A and B are shown apart, each in its own frame.
Chain A
Amino acid sequence: MPFAATHELIRQGRRGLNMIAPISDISTDMLIGAGCVTEVTGAWVGNVSGGMGHNYRRAAEHGTPHPIKINDYSNFAIGMAFFAGAYGLPYVPLKSILGSDILKSNKNIKLDTDPFSGEPVALVPALKPDVAFLVVQRADRFGNSHIWGSTGLTQEASIAANKIIVLADEIVEPEVIASDPSRVLIPGFGVDAVCHVPAACHPAPLIGKWQRDNQFFHDYHKETREPADFDRWCDEWVRDLPDHTAYRAKLGGQLEELRILGDAPSAPANYATE
């Protein structure tokens, strides 16, 4: 999760955002609380460690700080909507959300009949985000990026988006990335900006780099119960800090404890030609 980008969107006072993600940790909850969001497109918004997201609930139940439009999807449905957006398909026909009231709550999805089998099918239109923020373990200065571990919808979302902003935990020489092109999930030719932001994922984990800061999720849950609490939290952790460098400095030893120091490398892959 690109939490560093979440913080920066809040600091810049962005408004009217449509946050699109299958599952968004507490990132979307923060942006809603800060008044940045008017629309949420996704499958799950909450706190992966604490349960409910207080800001999401307040906005949906009471219109605080202002009402939000919720576009419900299942995980596979939003994934395939990105897939359609990435590869130029106007929509995808899905069976996996049949029978769900998501078909009633999300007016963008249409129930139709498969012209080949005559059976019911849900038509899910392509999603093409304006901007995709993506955290990667390492990238070169051209944005060619290596990612390892499970990748969620990183690839489909990045190809579907009009702009790609890469947040790299480490910047390496182009030769390092080129040594293993099979590990490139995002090639540099589609990337608009690459930013060197260590621990941009905090408090979420990044494989081989940072462990989850579970306590931070719990504290967020406790410290954002009321709107005034969230404002205090947001001032302390986001608005009163000039940038992510200051955020890391504020975390200090807490962040260092999460740094992964162990070594479990994969076996090298040989690309020799003769």
Chain B
Amino acid sequence: MIIAAARQIADGERIFVGMRLPITAYGVARLTHAPNAVGLFESGVARYEPADGMLYTMCDGPNQLGAAWTTGLIQIMGLLSGGRVHAGFIGGAEVDKFGNINTSYIGDIDNPKVKLPGSGGAPDIAAMAERLVIIINHQKHRLVEKVDFITSPGFLDGGDARKKAGLPGGGPAMLITDRATLQPYGPDNEFHLASIHPGHTLEEVVGNTGWDLKSMPNVTETPPPTEAEMDALHHIDKEGFWRS
């Protein structure tokens, strides 16, 4: 999952990193194929080198020591709004077949079954980044036909709905789970199966998806991590937090 995410970062790109898994992916990308990538954090931090040491939030000291820029939220998110960010990573409680993400309400807005913590900067990233990479655990209740609440827009109702809504960013380019990768395909921009991670099966992936998951023409096995990628991961994730 981390390695697949790292491969979505191209060299020299400005990336909205976010916390937890994507920050590790960013570190792996920097140490392998993308040594000139720039990491952006919405609290007001830009970094070249990933922080040394475990981060619980992007405001923690290690993320600020040696940063490229410590500034305000508006300055960093303004890079997004100004169309200067190549890609962003987002997770969520639910994602649907058009890549819309819910981190706000399960059930009805006025009488929610579960009130989730909310959006943070995710809608801004989803709306404005050139492309969006979604990372989520592959479970039927997480990959759903339709989300209860669109916190962060994907392709909305599919087709050209996103464009009609006036969203400047390109929208979700890939959905990475712990079992597979999915990509928007066809005129509807519905997410299709693109590759299956080593050790997982088509039946298992389809069975754990909450919509009728179709396959792209050439579904492949996700290329396994290279030695260089695993070395980078060991270097970044010294405590083995993401490998357990």
Contacts from A to B (Cβ < 8 Å): 22-23, 42-46, 48-49, 51-53, 56-57, 60-61, 70, 72-77, 79-80, 83, 94-102, 104-105, 119-121, 148-156, 204-205, 207-208, 211-212, 214, 217, 260, 264
Contacts and interface: CB of A to CB of B under 8 A. Distances in A.
Contact of A151 (B57, B71, B165): B71
A125 to B, nearest CB: 17
Contact of B150 (A96, A99, A156): A99
Contacts of A151: 44, 70-73
B56 A98 contact: no
B120 interface: yes
Interface residues on B, range: 35 or more
B73 A75 contact: yes
B56 A43 contact: no
Contacts of B149: 101, 105
B104 A72 contact: yes
A4 B94 CA distance: 36
Contacts of B168: 95
B119 A43 contact: yes
A99 B67 CA distance: 33
B57 A48 contact: yes
B77 interface: yes
Contacts of A74: 119-124
B230 interface: no
B60 to A, nearest CB: 6
Contacts of A77: 123-124
Contacts of B58: 150
B120 A44 contact: yes
A144 to B, nearest CB: 19
A214 B64 CA distance: 17
Nearest to A156: B74
5 contacts: A57-B115, A61-B112, A77-B123, A96-B80, A217-B56
B156 interface: yes
A74 B127 CA distance: 11
A99 B167 contact: yes
- Ordered nearest first, which 10 A-B pairs have the shortest CB separation? A99-B153, A46-B117, A150-B44, A120-B166, A60-B115, A75-B121, A96-B124, A74-B123, A76-B124, A76-B77
A52 B117 contact: yes
Contacts of A204: 59
